[in-house]
A and B are shown apart, each in its own frame.
Chain A
Amino acid sequence: MAKSSQTRIAEDEYGLRATYDDIEIGHELEEMKWVVTEEDIEKQCQMDEDFHEWYVLDSPWGGRIAPPQIQYRPPRWQLSRTFNVRGLFYKWTLENVKPIKPGDEITVRGKILNKWIRKEREFIEFESIGTDATGDIVFKTTRVHVLDVVKRDAPRAGVGIDSGIKNEKI
């Protein structure tokens, strides 16, 4: 059973939600390998209504490339593999270093950078860096998530319908 909005969700179908105390600064997130497919690129273009011939046909970098924002999901999956956080997205930095091409294997490494409490809400910051098979950096990103919409003085109770853990597909 879910809720009242005077409580913070305690668990969901994937188990207990990570708490503020569970998340340690410096904790490394589970490293992951990620290969973008042609289908992923098409889906990203559709989702964002962001079409360009470079994303569909050919580009100055030799062949089709992905919209750079396709880099959003792997770091989020990486966070969820390590900590069961639903929460809300608060801040996002990104750097597009190299174009992402279909078939490239990208290794994503990340860690918790910081955490803090402000206005009775709990925030965590993490970074992820994607590198290609040659070791070149493809993207860099930092993210800040607030762990709950509800203030931290509300008790944890109930089972959430949603979860931060999702199918790892674009």
Chain B
Amino acid sequence: MGIITAETPIGYDLPPVARRFNVGMFGAGGVKTIHNDQAAAEAEGLREPIAVAPQVAALVFRMMRLSFEAGWIVGGKSDLTFRRPVGVHDFCVAKGTVVEKLPEAGGRTRVVCEVSVETEKGVQAIVGKCSGVVG
């Protein structure tokens, strides 16, 4: 059973999940990409290599799994916007807050959370909503 239940109040903060990235996490099996190579990034118009977006979003998914357990694995939903790239050495924190509770089939409850991933510079790199099912 996860942390979140049908009784969890609106405004409850999910446990944050943090990670510092490093370029070695984006090795791509030795292939030069915009995620690990300066020239490849510049060729596409980027100033420097950027983190792989789904690996950054995975901080949110980990937070949702911690919070909802089975209610994330089956019935979890996510709607994310990648607003800013994350640097390959950035420190990031996923945060979430319960904002809504909706009835689901079978008397269950869908708990909707506003989520974000912020960098150490305070940049909101990812924003959106995720939900899991409880009850």
B73 pairs with A86, CB closer than 8 A: no
Asked if A86 and B77 make an inter-chain contact with CB atoms under 8 angstroms apart, the answer reads no
Are A3 and B42 neighbours in the complex by a CB distance under 8 Å? yes
B107 contacts the other chain (CB 8 A): no
Q: Beta-carbon contacts of B23-35 to A below 8 Å, as 1s and 0s?
A: 0010011011110
Q: B73 near A166 (CB under 8 angstroms)?
A: no
Q: Tell whether, in the assembled complex, residue A161 and residue B32 are in contact, meaning their CB atoms are under 8 Å apart.
A: yes
Q: Is the CB of A5 within 8 A of B45?
A: yes
Choose one: B73, B76, B79, B82; the contact of A88 (CB below 8 Å).
B82
Q: Is there a chain B Cβ closer than 8 Å to A117's Cβ?
A: no
Main secondary structure of the interface of A (DSSP, over half): loop
**Least CB separation from B54: chain A residue:** A72
On whether A160 and B54 interact (CB within 8 A), knowing A95-B76, A96-B76, the answer reads: no
CA separation between A169 and B28, bound complex, in Å? 10
Which residue of the partner chain A has the closest CB to B25?
A47
- Total count of chain B residues near the partner, CB < 8 A: 37
Q: For the complex, give the distance between the alpha carbons of A90 and B81 in Å.
A: 6
Cβ-defined contact, B58 with A50, below 8 A: yes
Q: CB of A49 within 8 A of chain B?
A: yes
Q: 1/0 contact trace for B50-63 toward A, CB 8 Å?
A: 00011101100110
- In the assembled complex, how far is the CB of residue A89 from the closest CB belonging to chain B, in whole angstroms? 4
Q: Besides A91-B82, A96-B76, 9 other CB < 8 A contacts? A: A2-B42, A9-B43, A69-B61, A89-B53, A92-B82, A95-B76, A99-B73, A150-B44, A158-B43
Residues of A within 8 A of B (CB): 2-3, 5, 8-9, 47-50, 52, 54, 60-61, 65, 67-69, 72, 86, 88-99, 148-150, 158, 160-162, 166-167, 169
Interface residues of B (CB under 8 A from A): 19, 25, 28-29, 31-34, 37, 39-40, 42-46, 53-55, 57-58, 61-62, 65, 70, 72-82, 85
In the complex, 9 of the A-B residue pairs with CB atoms within 8 angstroms, ordered by the A residue number, are: A48-B62, A50-B58, A90-B81, A92-B54, A96-B73, A96-B75, A148-B45, A162-B32, A162-B34
